[in-house]
Each structure stands twice: as structure tokens, then as C-alpha cells.
Amino acid sequence: MSADHGVSQPTRDRLAGRRAVITGGARGIGAAIARTFAEHGAHLALLDLRTEELDAIAADLGAVAVRADLADPADAIRGVQHAVDALGGVDILVNNAGLLRMAPLLDITVDDWDLTFDVNVRSMLLTTQVAARAMIAAGVDGTVINMASMGGKLGSPNQAHYAASKAAVIALTRVAAMELGVHGIRVNCICPGYVLTEMGAATRTDEMVATWSAKSPLGRLAQPADVANMALFLASDEASYCTGQAMNVSGGMVMH
């Protein structure tokens, strides 16, 4: 029996010719998304503070490299506008850059709280404003993908400021989807669970990985590619009727 039941099969050029701006694209999840998008034909502009790593991956992928400090409102706006101008427009914005600092609730300082929200939430508002205005002006049916976290739905001790900021990302995503849908712009967010990136590898023990893995019905943690594949789906035409969603990539650690 033929396996073809009339369902189109994904191709390797699902983003052919589309212009994507990715923040926090120098390493980890952002770099995995950049590589996946490039493999599917997207033209890329990557924003990050890590100049050496940013330049290396941009050169490897033929991407535009833009050094920007997203904690600085003016630099966030400048950086994304530069990226959009360099690409000649924008079809996809991936707000991946984020900050995680650990502290007990009673020890969180105002400065740490404010910086977490500046990078994790305010920067998304500003970059989305720049990209969405460009999409609207060009008549582009674009898409915005925000990186939230399962922490925004569940939270963990010592992460009150991080969890609160990621819950804010989920709320921002929903309202942006409501307001921008009339312009043909879809806005979704991704809620990863534990992801094995290079960040934190030096302090991550085998025992810690085993404990975290046990929280998932699948018995493992995520690789950056797991998150990148969700971003690819949301950026592609296959997700053309998805907007305002907070998509879990948590291996079942969160199911709502």
C-alpha cells in the first residue's frame, strides 16, 4: 500500500527566500535555529553581544552579523532595524535572546529583577515593534516567534524573576497575536524545558541530568535541535493557522 495519503511532505526549502532576524543567534538554541533556518533556505541576520562567536556563525551561514545589547532600548531598536535594512526587509523575527540568573526569592535584587525583564521581555516588545512595522509597510504575511520557557507556566525555586519574565513573554505573545493578526502576522512562543546547551555545561553533573531527565515521560532532556525544529514549524507555512500559542518543547514535563 502506498504511504501517500494526500499529505504533503516537508521539503528542505520550507523557508526558501525568506528573511529571518534571530536575536541571541551566536550559540545554543539561537545558533541551532539559525542553522536549521539556513538549511531550509532562509536569509539570516543574527544579533548577539558575543562578537567572536557571532562573527564565526555568521560567516559559516552567510548571515548578516549585528552586535547589539538588547538590555539597552536604543541599541535593541538600532540593531533590529539594521538587520532588517541589511536583509531588505523581514519575514520572520525570532526573539531568542534571554537571561537566566538564579537567586532565592528573598535575595532577588531590584537590579537583577529589572535586568531580567529588560532582556527577556522589554527587548521583545521593541524588536517586535520594529519588525512588525516593516512587515506591515511591505505587506508581508510575517511571523514572530518568541522564546518563553516551561518556567513561564510552571516555575521553579530560585527562578522567580526568570519565571515571571517568561510568563510575561507568553502574555505578550498572546496580545501581539490579537493585534497583529489583522495584518497577516502570526505571533507564537516556544516553551522549552531543560535543554542541553553549552551554557552551564561546566557546572552540569551527570546526576543533575539524570534527575532532570526523570521529570520527562520520554526520559531525556532536549537538544537544541528539538527547539529549532519547533521554530522551523512555526516559521513555515505548515503553521499558517497557528497564532497566539505557547508551544511546549518540554518532553511532557509540562502538558498545558
Catalytic machinery residues: 162
Question: Going by C-beta distance under 8 Å and a sequence separation of 6 or more, which residues neighbour residue 224?
Answer: 28, 29, 31, 32, 195, 196, 197
Instruction: List, in sequence order, the alpha helices (H) in 88-214.
Output: 110-117, 123-138, 160-180, 206-213
DSSP 8-state symbol, 151: G
d(CA 57, CA 135): 26
The answer to whether residues 140 and 196 touch, using CB atoms and an 8 Å cutoff, is no
- C-alpha grid cell, residue 247: 508551544
